[in-house]
Amino acid sequence: MYCLKHMIEPLQGLLTLVIGIATVCIMVLQYRIEKSNNRHLTYERKVLVYKASIDLIEEIIANATPKFESISSFVKNTAEQYFLFDKNIQMHLDSIKRNAYKLHLANQNLRGNNYNDTEQRKQLAEENRNLLQWFYESKKVTVKVFESDLKI
């Protein structure tokens, strides 16, 4: 019996070590899985911001003017940008918002009778044309700006 006890004690110590190592391995695997899940959730949120940007740009390209509701929806759907993206993407999204508001206002003024002076109306029409051109070019720029953040 004494001999058996001496054989079991070292095996118990070895078994405790194996259990400890297995526990650490499981913890590391759980950490990696959680990190992967967080990356996946963050990616999904980033894609929603990208999609909101492209949707607004495509609406402007199709209709030559953004609806106020569409701009408001864009602002709401991109509110997380400051927590998800670097300054470059944030600045681009702010440019989209700013130019969409400008284009909306320019279109409202062109439709109204606010500018009877032909020179002011020409300037407003030129601003409108420049903003539309910006949005035509902006779609490619938006894809490029988001590209590095959304590559899988």
CA 50 – CA 110 distance, rounded (Å): 30
How does pLDDT run across 85-124, given as a tens digit for each residue? 889 999 999 999 999 999 999 888 888 766 667 788 888 8
DSSP H helices in 64-117: 68-77, 81-84, 87-111
Note the pLDDT tens digit of each residue in 10-54: 777 777 887 888 788 788 777 776 766 566 668 888 999 999 999
Instruction: Write out pLDDT tens, residues 42-85.
Output: 888 899 999 999 999 999 999 988 999 999 999 999 998 888 88
In whole angstroms, give the CA distance from residue 46 to residue 149: 8
User: Which of the 8 DSSP states describes residue 151?
Assistant: -
| pLDDT for residue 132 | 93
DSSP 3-state assignment of 69? helix
